[in-house]
Amino acid sequence: MQISGNTVFIPGATSGIGLALALALHDRGNTVVVGGRRADLLDRITAEHPGLHAYRVDTTDPESIAAVAQQVLADHPDLDVLIPMAGIMRVEDWTDPAGFLASAEQTVTTNLLGPIRLIAAFVEHLLGRPDATIMTVSSGLAFAPLAATPSYNATKAAIHMLSESLRLQLAGTSVQVVELEPPSVATDLMPGQRESPVAMPLDEFVAEVLDLIEHQPDATEIQVERVQFLRYGEARGDYDQVVAALNAHDPHGK
């Protein structure tokens, strides 16, 4: 992926990493389109950041995805980057179905089916572009689990393998598949995460991500230095220690 000159759609970009990445990419000379469920937030974002485009979309709703794809492609036929960003992360108690089942179903719908449906809505268009990118968003928790968030961990592991598989299927086409792998970042994804001492400051994370994109445009995985502790535990042979350290720092997922 090139750092500038793209037209980028980021559904799930009204806050946190999604919004920060959208603004940073816009500042680097990209046309950026954001999507989210709340019209008031979208209106505020476009008012505060002239030049940014916004569309209402519920990424848990297949009909909403189909409708926004039609709108975005009609208005931005040069779209060449898709970054499905929407995600939820919840503490779950898997010792009792009442403590996890509804949450698990919502997490799978948002974190896994949402990106799958978005890719389905845009892949034919992207294949017709001379140089296009699908940037998936997994997590360091795809590679080492936080005990408190089983469904989140599982969906992000699935996104990792989906990215690997899709990259194989699209080899030889004009579409590059890049996987963004955030560590814990200081956002409101979980209660208390913004203030957590182990969370990476959001501005530092986005700055490092953009630097990696700029200097490694052919990378298949975007890994800031902080996530490599989680990403490569098995390869280093210290996976058990990584899992223990992860859960000692944050045993309740807060």
Q: Which of 55, 152, 232, 239 is catalytic?
A: 152
Q: Cβ neighbours of residue 169 under 8 Å, at least 6 residues apart?
A: none
Termini Cα distance of the chain: 34
Q: Which two tokens stand for residue 230?
A: 């989680």
Task: Give the number of other CB atoms < 10 A from CB of residue 195.
Answer: 9
SS3 132: strand
Task: Give how far Cα 242 sits from Cα of 10, 20, 145, 221, 245, Å.
Answer: 32, 28, 9, 20, 5
- Nearest of 44, 68, 69 to residue 56 by alpha carbon: 68
Active-site annotation holds for 152: yes
Residue given tokens 């792998």 in the structure block: 181
Residue given tokens 């799930």 in the structure block: 12
Task: Give the number of other CB atoms < 10 A from CB of residue 173.
Answer: 12
Give catalytic residue positions. Answer: 152
